[in-house]
Structure 1
Amino acid sequence: MAASFISRSSVFRSVGIGKCYFPPDTTVPFMDVARSVKHNNPDVIAAPTLRSSRPHLILTARRFAATTSITPPDNMAILNEQRKSRPQSPHLTIYQPQVTWILSSANRITGVFLSGALYGASMLYLLHPVFPSFDSASLVQLAHDMPTWLKGGLKFLFVVPFTFHTFNGIRHLAWDTGYGLSLKGVYVGGYTVLAVTAVSSLYLAFFT
């Protein structure tokens, strides 16, 4: 690598040294000047220019980023576009279907459905003064006039949550006693609940 050379007057003037040890109008290697200044003037702290072998890299052009003013609606539109490009967090589609978590979710969902149906039917009775024709006798007559297939299908939809929640609740009570908590016991109990739910729901919907 070629050595950098500087004139002796510029260097010694920059560090405040009036006396030099080089003949006038001579050029010397840059690093030699730095070592000479440090050796003969230990109290003088060399300027940053003496630490570099490439003085032309010391001064760099300062660049400023260009900015533009935008309105709040445009700012919100840009923000919404950025949010659309964000990666989504994992959800249920990444999990392998298993009896354990499916029945656990179904137990909660059917519980909410049955509670909502109970409270909803109770609230409808409060509206009886407003709708006098809506009573138990009217509902029984409506169900009697339905075709068998339609009546059985609607009964099946309402019976499945009830039977499943009932039998799965018994399964949970068995867990409370410490029975069926092994991995095999959990799976056997889950499949048993599904089988009993299907059979009992079909019987209650189409044979009662």
Structure 2
Amino acid sequence: MLQIPVHREKTVKLPYKFLTDVVSRLQQKSWLNLKAKEMENTGPVLEGVEFEIKNKNLKRPLSPHLSIHVAWSNMILSMTHRFTGIFLFAIPFGLASVAILLPESYPDYLGMLEDMHLNQFIIATTKFLIALPFSFHFLNGIRHLIWDTGHWLTIKEVNWSGYIIVVLAVALAIHLTSL
């Protein structure tokens, strides 16, 4: 008798002859061949080990790595667009979540900041660092909308529009900082 586990506590006892009959019937079907096929000899396993040791001695990465790619401007701008989008979602969400838990109201905390008498350079830098991701993400989003219309899609146009977006984003951030 052969015991086949069906569940953790239960097993089904089947006669061995029944299983051999099922297997022999399945083997007779042309669409199901249960006979093992011989594998081709691909060489000794040591070839792979020697290859890995050689690459390790040459200080090569295990697989294609970011270090072998040249950072193109549109690749950097694409990643920056994603990170600024995450930043623009996470920071207000986090601040709102913390504001709910704080005992005082929003004007009280603004009063505390004013009472610190912070240097104007620190205030302007903070405002610029808050305005820059917003302005870049906003302007780069407009560039993506222009791409959706089928314009500015050649490599040359993608590159120059990226540089223009960076310059305009810095200019817009400076303008927003000065308000």
Q: CA 1:97/1:87 → structure 2, altered by over 3 Å: closer, same or farther?
A: closer
Q: Kindly indicate whether structure 1 or structure 2 has the higher relative contact order, using CA contacts under 8 Å at least 6 residues apart.
A: 2
Supply the AA of the counterpart residue of 2:126: L
Post-superposition offset of 1:179: 1.2
CA RMSD of aligned residues (A): 2.2
Q: CA 1:199/1:140 → structure 2, altered by over 3 Å: closer, same or farther?
A: farther
Measure, in 2, the Cα distance between the counterparts of 1:99 and 1:142: 39
Measure, in 1, the Cα distance between the counterparts of 2:141 and 2:114: 30
Which of 74, 83, 91 aligns to 1:100? It is 74
Measure, in 1, the Cα distance between the counterparts of 2:66 and 2:107: 41
Post-superposition offset of 1:89: 2.7
Measure, in 2, the Cα distance between the counterparts of 1:87 and 1:164: 34
Measure, in 2, the Cα distance between the counterparts of 1:143 and 1:113: 26
Structure 1 runs (4+) deviating above 6 angstroms are: none
Q: Where does the alignment leave 5 or more consecutive residues of structure 1 unmatched? A: 1-81
Tell me, yes or no, if structure 1 residue 197 matches structure 2 residue 162.
no
Tell me, yes or no, if structure 1 residue 109 matches structure 2 residue 83.
yes
Conserved? CA contact 1:160–1:198, under 8 Å:
yes
Tell me, yes or no, if structure 1 residue 142 matches structure 2 residue 116.
no
Q: CA 1:196/1:87 → structure 2, altered by over 3 Å: closer, same or farther?
A: closer
Q: Where does the alignment leave 5 or more consecutive residues of structure 2 unmatched? A: 1-52
Q: Which residue of 2 aligns with 1:157?
A: 129
The structure number with the bigger radius of gyration is 1
Work out the percentage of aligned pairs sharing the same amino acid. Answer: 35
What SS does the aligned partner of 1:97 have?
coil
Normalising by the residue count of structure 2, what TM-score does the alignment of the two structures yield? 0.61
Q: Which residue of 2 aligns with 1:124?
A: 98
Q: CA 1:143/1:107 → structure 2, altered by over 3 Å: closer, same or farther?
A: farther
Q: CA 1:186/1:153 → structure 2, altered by over 3 Å: closer, same or farther?
A: same
Count of matched residue positions in the alignment of Structure 1 and Structure 2? 121
Tell me, yes or no, if structure 1 residue 181 matches structure 2 residue 153.
yes
What SS does the aligned partner of 2:77 have?
helix
Normalising by the residue count of structure 1, what TM-score does the alignment of the two structures yield? 0.53
